[in-house]
Amino acid sequence: MKNSRKPESQTSIRAPYPFTAIVDQEQMKLALLLAVIDPLIGGVIIFGHRGTAKSTSVRALADLLPPIVKVKGCLYGCDPDRESDLCMDCAALLDNKNRLPRQRAAVPVVDLPLGATEDRVCGTLDIERALTQGVKAFEPGLLARANRGFLYIDEVNLLEDHLVDVLLDAAASGRNIVEREGISVSHPARFVLVGSGNPEEGELRPQLLDRFGLFTEVTTISDLDLRVEIVVRRERFERDPAAFSEEFRGEQSRLGQRIVRAKKMLARVTTERELLRRIAALCVRLGSDGHRGELTIARAARALAAFEGRSKTTSEDARRVAVMALRHRLRKDPLDRVESAARIAQAIDEIFPSPVRLKAIR
Amino acid sequence: MRKASRQDACAPRVIMKSSTHHNAYPFAAILGNTQAKLALMLLAVDARLKGALIRGRPGQAKSALARSFAAMIDARLIEAPLAVTADRLLGGLDIEATLRDGKRRSARGLMAEADRGALYIDDINLLGDDLLSLVADALERGVVRIEREGISEILAAEFPLIGTYNRAEGEVSGLVKDRVGLIVEAEKMDSVDDRAEILSRVARFDADPARFNKEFEIETSRIRSNIEEARKRLPAVRVTSEDIRNLADAAVRLSVEGNRADLFAVRTARAHAALNLRDEVTDEDIIIAIRLALAPRANVAPAESNLQHSQSTEESDASEIEIESGASERAGDQSIENLMIQAMDARAPDDMLGPPHHRSRSVSAGRRVEASGLASGRYAGTTTRRDANAKVAIDATLRAAAPHQSARCRVDRLRITMDDLRYKKFRRRSGVLFIFAVDASSSMAVNRLAQAKGAMTRLLKAAYLHRDRVALVSFRGEGAEVLLGPTRSVELGKRVVDAMPAGGATPIATGLLRSIEVARMARARDRQQTLLLLFTDGRANVGANGERRRAEIEEELRQIGAVFEREDISSVIVDTRSMFVSTGEGKSLAAALGGRYVYLPRADSNSIHDAISEAAAELRE
């Protein structure tokens, strides 16, 4: 192809802005961190105005993630320690050789590009091999790449309905099943879904909303000092990304280590039965659909405790994550987010009495 | 160079190579349009401004500006026509090359071609959101990411975006507005002398472009070296945190959304200083920054023309900044308030401030409405079924044929049989556009508003189901205004209705005419069925042209009815008269408009909603 310029850097086009350099927006950052510590929380949806660091945060997150161990050479990044969840090739290899070769790799963060077509998302027939060798081979798509990582969808309200369906299916089942053009393939597709959207573009389908574990809302910052800081930092970053990132290297590395430690100790964090009961009571009181609400609160609270280095979950932990976990799940008037925040706050105050009063609910 | 007509723009892509630049209309010869020219020059100085949106009426040299500018800075200008499709914009499978080489080959899209050049989109307000988001993404990242039709690629795409549009046909989507640094107005030229001079220049240019260019050689060269010099100086231009604070302050007061605008404002100020060969940012630069980068993004009421009606104290009005005496402690020469006022004074074109006047327009040529063909929309899957306008989906066809090649004894060409052919399925945006036209005149205003609000909120909450949208036009006194452009946002809807003013005479015709405009604008962008919901008691007492005689008013309404029929706008007239004996005005209005009539003695929101749903159901079939 003539005259096409490849972008300057190899992978990400520009080095990402450091996560720890992002000004304010604490709720959003917390939600992302919790989702990383425990992927079972089920991802985050960030709703808010344009220009409020939504995409910046998600892309910056990738930098912080500890590496994973995968089967060497596997297209899907299979986990050699999860024998029940291998792709067909790895399963065959395991049968043959009785062990799987290992390799460290970065956690994949797949940014769903706008204009992506279904064949590229799910994977399809490898045309070249078919044309040249007459062989029907599968060419994996983005879902394969995202396995064991994150799938980020910017402007999620603009996403095509049929693509949404494909993604929902995979996110729910953890597998991608392809049946097209004479190909029949199934492979693991466990990823954390992170989405961002602008409320001005309209509401999200409740089925889509519900797919996300945590819901956070961001607004334009009006505090002048913070705004100035945002501008100053951004300009410095653009002028010299390497130097700027260097300034934050210490903080970035500390945060990265906290995440690693939290993930390691997560399994050992306990939650007292009484606290679990109160969490359930909260969800019953608010009429949240099914059990996802309380499961999410419990998991998020535990992840928070782990993040802060504690081995026991407290009611304060639950308070801090409740709004994020429930705001998009209330059965009555599910699309009325403003009122639901107030209702949740009130219910929290009643069920988790605490001397610390919750301030602004986002 | 002949000015390319719309026809040319829709033909196979036009790439202007550097060689043709010599005969482009010289930038230096463009009269007036100082703001637009300044914006383009600033863009040349600092590419991080990302782009400029130029708004104005047709025939104000908007396109000429873009082309001349590209010629002057020796940048390749790529024009994206309105009928552009995603695969042309992004890139995708190159059919010929793939067939020829037996390997997957990609074709560059327009954005990759604009790399290190410039991208020009005329009528950018009419481009659908799905395509605009592709452009916005490239502006943000400087690359195009392609994952379609078997191609997976990332290509460099750094380009400033120049978008021009006619504001009367709708505002540009926030998607792109947010990613572009400068937004300016094309100037209206009132002076007869100036206009005569333009005619003279164009004539001379048409006669002999090369010679005309020579006439302006010196001026062109001066501008070029000014820009060069400014580019060199830019890194050293100093801006204090006081300056940044002032700009952020202005942004907050104007309720500008997000933080990108702050960055653009700072960059604009510095670029302007550099262009004026200064080493530090002064008040003059700050004013320009506010004028070009912040004021156009001011968040007044959701409708762009509604400057007089901001009720809530949260939203600042671009034309009425409150001066807080003593509240500011600026170390600079002028307080930020003064700077803002200076910035505003100079920029407001006459149709922005001032009372909302009649916008009744005659039926326009509608040349843009037919931009997309019948088989259009988002490429969403393939089918083996062939119908009248089917477009072959090459990628899917190749995939279907590929595995059989060896069996078909393929020698040097791909053998495709009829069975292999796959056709593209397109998804057009379906759903209904509900236009609420609400009589906000004094009689019964409060009740009517409550009813309309109830119905509207309910529709908005369910809008995601069918991809419906809702718009709100209110009419009272002598005019009508669009309070809410087509949207799906519940929050926006509530906010607008709560702030809706009421009182005055009842200009039903004006309200209907305004609604027709909304429908047309929406149609040009997305094909949607339109259902008008008119909340009134039918007693129009003033016509669209201020007429107050019954017979004339009725005639007007009949004509509007004819337009409704031509434009296929369905309607439901909700008679909100709660007297025991209805004098039939509502009914005759419904007859004139060819719409359903609904008289609800209870007029509770449930029955209204049911009536609306029934009408909508018919449309969806």
Quote the pLDDT of residue B412. Answer: 52
Please identify among residues 161-190 of chain B the ones whose CB lies closer than 8 Å to any CB of chain A: 174-175, 178
Statement: residue B491 has pLDDT above 90: no
Q: Supply the ipTM of this predicted assembly.
A: 0.77
Statement: residue B323 has pLDDT above 90: no
Superfamily of domain B6-187: P-loop containing nucleotide triphosphate hydrolases (3.40.50.300)
Best B115, B132, B134, B141 member to test A by mutation, with max A CBs in 10 Å, is: B141
φ/ψ of A69, rounded to 5, equals -105, 130
B130 touches chain A (CB under 8 A): yes
Q: Which CATH architecture has domain B232-314+332-347?
A: Orthogonal Bundle (1.10)
What residues of A are labeled active site? 292
The predicted-structure confidence for B169-184, as pLDDT tens digits, reads as follows 778 888 899 999 999 9
**Residues of chain A found within 8 Å of residue B132, distances taken between Cβ atoms:** none
Domain ranges of chain B: 6-187, 232-314+332-347, 379-427, 432-620
Quote the pLDDT of residue B621. Answer: 67
How close A21 comes to chain B (CA, Å)?
Answer: 15
Work out whether strand B161-165 and strand B423-427 pair parallel, antiparallel, or are unpaired: unpaired
Cα B347 to Cα A114, A144, B123, B322: the distances in Å are 36, 52, 22, 18
The predicted-structure confidence for A105-153, as pLDDT tens digits, reads as follows 888 888 888 778 888 888 887 777 776 676 778 888 999 999 988 899 8
Quote the pLDDT of residue A337. Answer: 56
**Least confident range of A85-89, B396-400, B613-617:** B396-400
Statement: residue B309 has pLDDT above 60: no
**Residues B611, B596: contact at Cβ < 8 Å?**
yes
The predicted-structure confidence for B438-473, as pLDDT tens digits, reads as follows 887 766 566 667 777 777 777 877 776 777 888 888
Alpha helices in B276-381 (DSSP H): 283-289, 336-347
Residue found by looking up tokens 């156009």 in the block: B296
Mean pLDDT of B615-621: 80
Angle in degrees, 0-180, between the axes of helices A292-307 and A273-286, rounded to the nearest 10: 130
A297 vs A286, more confident: A297
CA angle B146, B151, B155 (to 5 degrees): 40
Mean pLDDT of B38-60: 90
Quote the pLDDT of residue A338. Answer: 56
Q: Under CATH, which number does the domain A266-351 receive?
A: 1.10.8.80
The predicted-structure confidence for B106-133, as pLDDT tens digits, reads as follows 888 999 999 999 999 988 988 887 888 8
Question: What span, in angstroms and rounded, lies between the C-alpha atoms of B70 and B89?
Answer: 20
Quote the pLDDT of residue B264. Answer: 96
How close B318 comes to chain A (CA, Å)?
Answer: 17
B300 vs A239, more confident: A239
Quote the pLDDT of residue A20. Answer: 95
Residue found by looking up tokens 């695969």 in the block: B87
A26-67+106-218 has which fold?
Rossmann fold (3.40.50)
Q: How many CB atoms lie within 10 A of CB A59?
A: 19
Mean pLDDT of B485-489: 79
Nearest to A4 among B108, B145, B266 (CB): B108
Statement: residue A297 has pLDDT above 80: yes
Confidence of residue B496 (pLDDT cuts 50, 70, 90): confident
Quote the pLDDT of residue B302. Answer: 29
Measured between CA atoms, the residue of chain A closest to residue B484 is: A200
- Give long-range contacts, CB 8 A cutoff, 24+ apart: B215-219: B215/B29, B216/B26, B216/B28, B216/B29, B219/B26, B219/B28, B219/B29
**What is the pLDDT of chain B when averaged over all its residues?**
75
Question: What span, in angstroms and rounded, lies between the C-alpha atoms of B26 and A224?
Answer: 43
Question: What span, in angstroms and rounded, lies between the C-alpha atoms of B43 and B53?
Answer: 11
**Residues of chain B found within 8 Å of residue A119, distances taken between Cβ atoms:** 148-150, 395-396
Pairwise CB contact (< 8 Å): A220 & B134: no
Rg of chain B over CA atoms, in angstroms?
27
Quote the pLDDT of residue B180. Answer: 96
**Least confident range of A141-145, A229-233, A292-296, B354-358:** B354-358
Nearest to B399 among A120, A181, A338 (CB): A181
Residue B239: partners with Cβ closer than 8 Å, 6 or more residues away? B266, B269, B270, B280, B281
Q: How many CB atoms lie within 10 A of CB B602?
A: 9
Confidence of residue B354 (pLDDT cuts 50, 70, 90): very low
Confidence of residue B311 (pLDDT cuts 50, 70, 90): very low
How close A230 comes to chain B (CA, Å)?
Answer: 8
Quote the pLDDT of residue B329. Answer: 35
B43 vs B15, more confident: B43
DSSP one-letter string for A264-311:
HHGGG-B--HHHHHHHHHHHHHHTBSTTHHHHHHHHHHHHHHHHTT-S
Quote the pLDDT of residue B327. Answer: 32
DSSP one-letter string for B390-412:
--B-HHHHHHHHGGGTTTTT-SS
The predicted-structure confidence for A183-214, as pLDDT tens digits, reads as follows 788 888 988 889 998 877 766 777 778 778 99
Quote the pLDDT of residue B81. Answer: 82
Paired tokens of B381: 């899957």
The predicted-structure confidence for B371-429, as pLDDT tens digits, reads as follows 233 344 555 567 777 666 566 676 677 666 766 666 665 555 566 677 777 777 665 55
The predicted-structure confidence for B590-614, as pLDDT tens digits, reads as follows 888 888 887 766 656 677 788 788 8
**What is the pLDDT of chain A when averaged over all its residues?**
84
SS3 B383: strand
Looking at the DSSP bridge assignments, the partners of residue B482 are B473
A276 vs B475, more confident: A276
Paired tokens of B411: 């020698």
Question: What span, in angstroms and rounded, lies between the C-alpha atoms of B25 and B213?
Answer: 7
Quote the pLDDT of residue B380. Answer: 59
Residue found by looking up tokens 């995939």 in the block: B399
CATH topology of B6-187 equal to that of B232-314+332-347? no
Quote the pLDDT of residue B268. Answer: 97
DSSP one-letter string for B68-87:
HHHHHTT--EEEE-TT--HH
Domain ranges of chain A: 26-67+106-218, 70-105, 266-351
Tell me the percentage of chain B whose pLDDT exceeds 70: 72
Statement: residue A160 has pLDDT above 80: no
CA B277 to chain centre: 35
The predicted-structure confidence for B220-242, as pLDDT tens digits, reads as follows 999 999 999 999 999 999 999 99
For residue B433, which of B522, B302, B368, B513 has the smallest C-alpha distance?
B522
Pairwise CB contact (< 8 Å): A142 & B147: yes
A282 vs B3, more confident: A282
Measured between CA atoms, the residue of chain B closest to residue A157 is: B464
**A158-167, B320-329, B387-396: range with highest mean pLDDT:** A158-167
SS3 A137: coil
Statement: residue B53 has pLDDT above 90: yes
CATH 3.90.1200.10 fits B432-620, yes or no: no
Quote the pLDDT of residue A230. Answer: 94
Confidence of residue B304 (pLDDT cuts 50, 70, 90): very low
Looking at the DSSP bridge assignments, the partners of residue A197 are A47
Mean pLDDT of B246-263: 89
How close B395 comes to chain A (CA, Å)?
Answer: 9
Statement: residue B154 has pLDDT above 70: yes
> Could you tell me the end-to-end alpha-carbon distance of chain B, in angstroms, rounded to an integer?
50
Mean pLDDT of A5-34: 79
Q: How many CB atoms lie within 10 A of CB B225?
A: 10
Quote the pLDDT of residue A260. Answer: 92
Quote the pLDDT of residue B520. Answer: 80
Cβ burial of B411 (10 Å; 0-12, 13-18, 19+) is: exposed
CATH topology of A26-67+106-218 equal to that of A266-351? no
